[in-house]
Amino acid sequence: MHRFLISGLLFAALITPVALQADHDRRYYDREGKDYHTWNSHEDHAYRVYLGEQHREYREFPRATVVQRNEYFRWRHVHPDSHPIFKVEVR
């Protein structure tokens, strides 16, 4: 019985970071660009740079309007990152 409890706790400890990471890496479809943008810490950083250049206050991306999201996606395609983590997935 003791082994099963320890195994269960170990499993929970190992799976929790994966579950939390999956929640943070959401994908948003860009209709104009016909691609997906995976929202993670790197994309959030790019979004904050965009807002700074536009002299706008930070607003969480999921709370942005469709028009604001589309404006960001257009900016993002003109300002791609060279790092492979920043790649935009095209389907």
Classify residue 7: in a domain, yes or no: no
Q: What is the pTM of this model?
A: 0.64
The radius of gyration of the chain from alpha carbons, rounded to an integer in Å, stands at 18
Tell me, yes or no, whether 45 lies in a domain: yes
> Residue range 68-87: average pLDDT?
80
Residue 41 lies in a domain: yes
Q: Give domain status of residue 11, yes or no.
A: no
Q: How far apart are the C-alpha atoms of 71 and 79, rounded to whole Å?
A: 12
Look at the chain and report how many structural domains it folds into.
Answer: 1
Is 77 part of any domain?
yes
Considering only the C-alpha atoms of the chain, give the largest distance between any 2 of them, rounded to a whole number of Å. 60
Residue 37 belongs to a domain: yes
Could you read off the pLDDT of 29-75 as tens digits, one per residue? 999 999 999 999 999 999 999 999 999 999 999 999 999 999 999 99
Q: Angle of helix 66-78 relative to helix 41-53, nearest 10 degrees? A: 100
Q: Are 27 and 38 in contact (CB under 8 A)?
A: yes
Q: What pLDDT, on a 0 to 100 scale, did the predictor assign at position 15?
A: 72
Domain that holds residue 60: 25-90
pLDDT interval class at 1 (50, 70, 90): confident
pLDDT average, residue stretch 77-88: 66
Token code pair at residue 26:
């959401």
Does some domain include residue 16? no
pLDDT band for position 13 (cuts 50, 70, 90): confident
In a domain, 82, yes or no: yes
